[in-house]
Amino acid sequence: MKKELLLPLVLTLATVGCIHRASGTVTPKERATTYNAAFAQANDAIEQGAELAVTTGVLTSANAKPIIAFTEHVAELHKQITAILGQSVVTQANIDSIAALLDKIKAEGDAAIASGALGVKNPRSQQTFKMDLDNIYSLADTVLATIKEVKAGTQ
Protein backbone atom coordinates (compact mmCIF):
# COMPACT_ATOMS: atom_id res chain seq x y z
CA MET A 1 0.00 0.00 0.00
CA LYS A 2 2.85 2.39 0.75
CA LYS A 3 4.21 2.26 -2.78
CA GLU A 4 0.80 3.16 -4.23
CA LEU A 5 0.53 6.17 -1.90
CA LEU A 6 4.11 7.37 -1.99
CA LEU A 7 4.31 8.32 -5.66
CA PRO A 8 1.23 10.61 -5.70
CA LEU A 9 2.39 12.30 -2.50
CA VAL A 10 5.91 12.84 -3.81
CA LEU A 11 4.59 14.21 -7.10
CA THR A 12 2.19 16.49 -5.26
CA LEU A 13 4.90 17.84 -2.99
CA ALA A 14 7.30 18.33 -5.89
CA THR A 15 4.66 20.18 -7.88
CA VAL A 16 3.66 22.38 -4.95
CA GLY A 17 7.28 23.29 -4.33
CA CYS A 18 7.43 24.89 -7.79
CA ILE A 19 4.53 27.31 -7.83
CA HIS A 20 5.06 29.68 -10.75
CA ARG A 21 3.04 32.41 -12.33
CA ALA A 22 3.30 33.53 -15.94
CA SER A 23 3.42 37.20 -14.98
CA GLY A 24 4.39 38.67 -11.64
CA THR A 25 4.96 37.22 -8.23
CA VAL A 26 2.86 34.50 -6.65
CA THR A 27 0.91 36.03 -3.77
CA PRO A 28 0.64 34.40 -0.33
CA LYS A 29 -3.07 33.81 -0.99
CA GLU A 30 -2.27 31.99 -4.24
CA ARG A 31 0.30 29.87 -2.40
CA ALA A 32 -2.19 29.11 0.38
CA THR A 33 -4.77 28.05 -2.20
CA THR A 34 -2.22 25.85 -3.98
CA TYR A 35 -1.08 24.21 -0.74
CA ASN A 36 -4.70 23.68 0.19
CA ALA A 37 -5.27 21.88 -3.13
CA ALA A 38 -2.20 19.71 -2.46
CA PHE A 39 -3.62 18.93 0.98
CA ALA A 40 -6.81 17.66 -0.69
CA GLN A 41 -4.78 15.62 -3.20
CA ALA A 42 -2.77 13.99 -0.41
CA ASN A 43 -5.97 13.07 1.41
CA ASP A 44 -7.40 11.68 -1.82
CA ALA A 45 -4.23 9.64 -2.36
CA ILE A 46 -4.74 7.96 1.01
CA GLU A 47 -8.33 7.13 0.13
CA GLN A 48 -7.33 5.82 -3.30
CA GLY A 49 -4.58 3.76 -1.67
CA ALA A 50 -7.08 2.19 0.74
CA GLU A 51 -9.42 1.39 -2.15
CA LEU A 52 -6.54 -0.13 -4.13
CA ALA A 53 -5.50 -2.17 -1.10
CA VAL A 54 -9.01 -3.66 -0.97
CA THR A 55 -8.98 -4.35 -4.71
CA THR A 56 -5.64 -6.16 -4.49
CA GLY A 57 -6.61 -8.08 -1.36
CA VAL A 58 -4.14 -6.36 0.98
CA LEU A 59 -7.01 -5.02 3.13
CA THR A 60 -10.52 -6.27 3.66
CA SER A 61 -13.40 -3.92 2.99
CA ALA A 62 -14.09 -3.88 6.72
CA ASN A 63 -10.52 -2.79 7.46
CA ALA A 64 -10.54 -0.13 4.76
CA LYS A 65 -13.90 1.31 5.79
CA PRO A 66 -12.54 3.36 8.75
CA ILE A 67 -9.69 4.70 6.61
CA ILE A 68 -12.08 5.78 3.89
CA ALA A 69 -14.47 7.25 6.46
CA PHE A 70 -11.57 9.24 7.96
CA THR A 71 -10.53 10.60 4.56
CA GLU A 72 -14.14 11.54 3.81
CA HIS A 73 -14.29 13.48 7.08
CA VAL A 74 -11.01 15.19 6.24
CA ALA A 75 -12.53 16.11 2.86
CA GLU A 76 -15.53 17.68 4.62
CA LEU A 77 -13.24 19.75 6.84
CA HIS A 78 -11.18 20.65 3.77
CA LYS A 79 -14.30 22.10 2.14
CA GLN A 80 -14.70 24.39 5.15
CA ILE A 81 -11.06 25.47 4.88
CA THR A 82 -11.51 26.13 1.16
CA ALA A 83 -14.56 28.30 1.86
CA ILE A 84 -12.55 30.35 4.35
CA LEU A 85 -9.69 30.74 1.87
CA GLY A 86 -12.18 31.90 -0.74
CA GLN A 87 -13.16 34.96 1.28
CA SER A 88 -11.84 38.26 0.00
CA VAL A 89 -10.40 39.31 3.37
CA VAL A 90 -8.57 37.01 5.77
CA THR A 91 -9.24 37.80 9.40
CA GLN A 92 -7.71 36.47 12.59
CA ALA A 93 -10.99 34.63 13.16
CA ASN A 94 -10.47 32.90 9.77
CA ILE A 95 -6.98 31.86 10.79
CA ASP A 96 -8.25 30.59 14.13
CA SER A 97 -11.01 28.62 12.37
CA ILE A 98 -8.53 27.03 9.95
CA ALA A 99 -6.16 26.18 12.81
CA ALA A 100 -9.01 24.55 14.76
CA LEU A 101 -10.10 22.47 11.76
CA LEU A 102 -6.53 21.33 11.10
CA ASP A 103 -5.99 20.50 14.78
CA LYS A 104 -9.19 18.43 14.66
CA ILE A 105 -7.90 16.49 11.67
CA LYS A 106 -4.58 15.80 13.41
CA ALA A 107 -6.23 14.74 16.67
CA GLU A 108 -8.68 12.41 14.92
CA GLY A 109 -5.97 10.83 12.77
CA ASP A 110 -3.61 10.26 15.69
CA ALA A 111 -6.42 8.92 17.89
CA ALA A 112 -7.60 6.56 15.16
CA ILE A 113 -4.12 5.10 14.75
CA ALA A 114 -3.53 4.80 18.49
CA SER A 115 -6.89 3.14 19.12
CA GLY A 116 -6.63 0.70 16.24
CA ALA A 117 -9.97 2.03 14.94
CA LEU A 118 -8.56 2.19 11.42
CA GLY A 119 -8.18 -1.57 11.39
CA VAL A 120 -4.44 -1.38 10.80
CA LYS A 121 -3.00 -3.96 13.18
CA ASN A 122 0.47 -4.50 11.78
CA PRO A 123 2.92 -2.08 13.47
CA ARG A 124 4.77 -1.57 10.19
CA SER A 125 1.52 -0.74 8.37
CA GLN A 126 0.56 1.59 11.22
CA GLN A 127 3.87 3.39 10.77
CA THR A 128 3.28 3.63 7.02
CA PHE A 129 -0.17 5.10 7.55
CA LYS A 130 1.23 7.45 10.18
CA MET A 131 3.80 8.67 7.64
CA ASP A 132 0.99 9.33 5.16
CA LEU A 133 -0.89 11.28 7.82
CA ASP A 134 2.28 13.19 8.66
CA ASN A 135 2.42 14.28 5.00
CA ILE A 136 -1.13 15.60 5.29
CA TYR A 137 -0.26 17.30 8.58
CA SER A 138 2.77 18.94 6.98
CA LEU A 139 0.67 20.29 4.13
CA ALA A 140 -1.95 21.45 6.63
CA ASP A 141 0.72 23.33 8.59
CA THR A 142 1.94 24.89 5.34
CA VAL A 143 -1.59 26.05 4.49
CA LEU A 144 -1.90 27.62 7.93
CA ALA A 145 1.51 29.30 7.78
CA THR A 146 0.81 30.67 4.32
CA ILE A 147 -2.62 32.00 5.24
CA LYS A 148 -0.97 33.80 8.14
CA GLU A 149 1.27 35.49 5.54
CA VAL A 150 -1.88 36.59 3.73
CA LYS A 151 -3.18 38.17 6.93
CA ALA A 152 0.15 39.81 7.68
CA GLY A 153 0.53 41.31 4.20
CA THR A 154 -1.86 42.48 1.62
CA GLN A 155 -4.64 40.16 0.59
What's residue 19's pLDDT?
A: 56
Measured between alpha carbons, how far is residue 112 from residues 58, 104, 132 in Å? 19, 12, 13
Residues of the chain with pLDDT below 70 are: 1-23, 117-121, 154-155
pTM: 0.76
CATH architecture of 2-152: Up-down Bundle (1.20)
User: SS3 of 150, please?
Assistant: helix
Cβ-based burial of 26 (10 A; exposed 0-12, middle 13-18, buried ≥19): exposed
What's residue 7's pLDDT?
A: 45
Domain limits of the chain? Answer: 2-152
AA identity, residue 63: N
The 10s digit of each residue's pLDDT in 38-81 is 999 999 998 998 899 889 887 788 888 888 888 999 999 999 99
- Quote the CA–CA distance of 6 and 23 in Å, as a whole number: 33
> Per this entry, what is the length of the chain?
155
